[in-house]
Amino acid sequence: MSLPLAISLPSCNRTFVLVSDSCFVSSASASKCLFNATMRIPKKPLHFLCFSLFSFSRPFTPRLPFRGNERRFHSPGANQFHARFPMDDIYLSANDKNSHFQLLTSSDGGQQPYIWSSPERGHKIDIGKQIFCNRSLNMKNIVAVGFDMDYTLAQYKPETFESLCYEGTVKKMVHDLGYPPELLEWSFDSKYMVRGLVLDKKRGNILKMDRHKYVKLAYHGFREMCKEDKVDAYGSTLIRDAFDEPNYAVIDTLFSLAEAYLFAQLVDFMDKNPGKFPNGTDYARMYNDVRAGVDMCHRDGTLKQMVAMNPKRYVNEDTSIVPMLKMLRESGRSTFLVTNSLWDYTNIVMNFLCGSHAPDGSSSCNFDWLRYFDVVITGSAKPGFFHDGNHANLFEVEPETGMLINTDNGTPMPLMGNTSPRLSLNKKNKTTQVFQGGSVGHLHKLLSIESSSQVLYVGDHIYGDILRSKKVLGWRTMLVVPELESEVQLLWELRDRRKQLRLLRNDRDQIEDQLHHLKWSFKFEDINTNEQQEISSRIHELESQRDQVRLAYHKAEHYIHQKFHKAWGQLMKTGYQNSRFAHQVERFACLYTSQVSNLGLYSPDKYYRPSEDYMPHEFDIIPL
């Protein structure tokens, strides 16, 4: 059957790289696997059906033209987050089985989820799976797309993975660091801590700040601090604190949620039981011991051994990853993986995510997943990997054995007594190259990158993945924020209450302006007794109205806060200001979304454009 509309995409040489944090572990116990992965480069134009995605009843717009009216939400302030929310009937619910996760038959006879290039019609992107844009990005200029593995391609389950980390750390602290055995009876609440918090090591406080680094919410352990205590600690100094190391620690990755929760538990426990800790133990030492316990769990392989034995228990399955990678590669781009994990662990996790599965859901140990990447770099030691002055050696990894082969700028060097490299780079059908260590300079040479702006890197760590790659290299960046999916759904549900908050703020400002005017008149103008009584009565009336508005505002604000998170509220807000975390997302992430596979819901040549920024002086001038 002929297609009603097709777009020819030119064949070009683009590379994909996978970057992983995992480290190499001896493969003696691993099953032997055949290494037979080849890189496919299209030799003729590819055709993607796009007729079904666009409605021609109205002019073409950069986003999918959904039906219905649109509402815009704006709050005063520079560089605020602006989203355009169509009406309720636009989005498919997260539980809709007929959404874009509907399984389609793939060319190899298997099943794959809906992606942008699928010929089925009528699919719309759920608001929780949209890609949001901070900085214009034309995908036609991107020749290589790279990925982190942990918490990017591999989304770990907090209730099992973080609990495993928590339990391992507690055992290390009791058995190796001499902490009270009562700690072994504690449990972990995987939903309590959120990203973007700051730990005050010296005071034992946990802080949530706005984009200006003002403390808006603070807990000492699990006890919420009153306004006076917050001001005494953080608002009564002549020089503002920078809230940086060594006195503060930022919870900017999902890996850190368990250690933040344990730190809060220890603060409460020491306040109530000071005699159970050695003399000289303070909050800062406790935090350092928590960090030491976490590092020991990672260093001795406790965590990754458990994950390797049963990946399904600890890692979320995402059947959309492989179709997304295929689509990117078939559009002519290169793909790469860069991770801090070593090869043995990387191979296990990527096999689970991208490998072939038996009917019972089990997966075998093989290297089939490598065909989705041009270069894989393990043990990368990010963020140091991104520094151009990094002179770390690059070793090639032999996938079957995990053996490391020395290289010269990515070219395998002969072993002693051997006159030729183990893997020739000039083979016609070259295989995916797997490396360990090295630096971004090696990566650029392997992929023949001419300009850093040609690379899009997708990661979850605002500092280790996004900030450094953006600030140091100028790579284009996409941040994965899994919490965003539920956050935007709640924003949509609470849109009327958010509007009510804005109206109450306006009412409060107007009442206060009237009060100030009357009090000024009452104090300085020459008025008679009757007028004084009238003004005094009017002042009391306005003060009563102001108090009622304040009370209504605080009730509505508290309700919204509780709906998002009982302790910390909305991830991207503190009150009506952007949170510190949201500010970093806006500064350093060109794009951000809830899942890496959401890339597959958009054209690989899409031009992402941000919404217009507004400053406070523009809101009353430009109709919104």
Query: Which residues make up each annotated binding site for GMP?
Result: 150
Helix (H) or strand (E) holding 436, with range, is strand 433-437
Q: Per the domain annotation, does 250 fall within a domain?
A: yes
Token couple for 152:
């990017």
The reported pLDDT for the residue numbered 519 is: 86
- pLDDT (average), residues 277-287: 88
| Cβ-proximal residues to 49 (8 Å cutoff; 6+ apart), any chain | 3, 5, 6, 117, 118, 119
Choose the catalytic residue: 126, 148, 200, 368. 148
pLDDT at 415 over 70: no
Q: Per the domain annotation, does 295 fall within a domain?
A: yes
pLDDT at 509 over 70: yes
Band the pLDDT of 283: cuts 50, 70, 90: very high
Q: Per the domain annotation, does 615 fall within a domain?
A: no
Q: Are 345 and 304 in contact (CB under 8 A)?
A: yes
Of 12-26, 76-90, 289-303, 583-597, the range with the highest mean pLDDT is 583-597
Short-list 196, 167, 176, 161, CA closest to 265: 167
pLDDT at 595 over 70: yes
Virtual CA dihedral for 378, 463, 566, 204, nearest 10 degrees?
110
The reported pLDDT for the residue numbered 243 is: 86
> Are both 330 and 296 inside the same structural domain?
no
The CATH number that applies at residue 388 is 3.40.50.1000
pLDDT in tens, 571-583: 999 988 899 999 9
> Are both 146 and 57 inside the same structural domain?
yes
Domain-ending residue, one of 253, 287, 309:
309
What type of residue is 56? Answer: F
> Are both 294 and 215 inside the same structural domain?
yes
| Cβ-proximal residues to 160 (8 Å cutoff; 6+ apart), any chain | 313, 314
Choose the catalytic residue: 150, 210, 289, 344. 150
> Are both 368 and 455 inside the same structural domain?
yes
Helix (H) or strand (E) holding 228, with range, is helix 227-234
Query: Which residues make up each annotated binding site for Mg(2+)?
Result: 148, 460
Q: Per the domain annotation, does 192 fall within a domain?
A: yes
> Are both 268 and 287 inside the same structural domain?
yes
Of 18-22, 118-122, 129-133, the range with the highest mean pLDDT is 129-133
The boundaries of the domain holding residue 546 are: 496-565
The reported pLDDT for the residue numbered 288 is: 94
| Cβ-proximal residues to 253 (8 Å cutoff; 6+ apart), any chain | 151, 195, 460, 461, 462, 463, 464
Ordered DSSP codes for 248-274: EEEE-SGGGHHHHHHHHHHHHHHHH-G
Could you tell me how far CA 243 lies from the centroid of its own chain? 22
pLDDT at 405 over 50: yes
Alpha-helical regions (H) of 464-528:
468, 484-493, 495-524
pLDDT in tens, 424-444: 333 333 578 899 998 888 999
Query: Which residues make up each annotated binding site?
Result: 148, 150, 460
> Are both 176 and 251 inside the same structural domain?
yes
Task: Please say if 96 is a catalytic residue.
Answer: no
> Are both 305 and 372 inside the same structural domain?
no
Band the pLDDT of 621: cuts 50, 70, 90: confident
> Are both 168 and 32 inside the same structural domain?
no
Q: Per the domain annotation, does 359 fall within a domain?
A: yes
Domain-ending residue, one of 417, 449, 478:
478
> Looking at the 3D structure of the chain, how many domains does it have?
3
Task: Please say if 150 is a catalytic residue.
Answer: yes
Q: What is the mean pLDDT of the chain?
A: 78
Q: Per the domain annotation, does 102 fall within a domain?
A: no
> Are both 145 and 182 inside the same structural domain?
no
- pLDDT (average), residues 469-494: 87
Q: Per the domain annotation, does 586 fall within a domain?
A: no
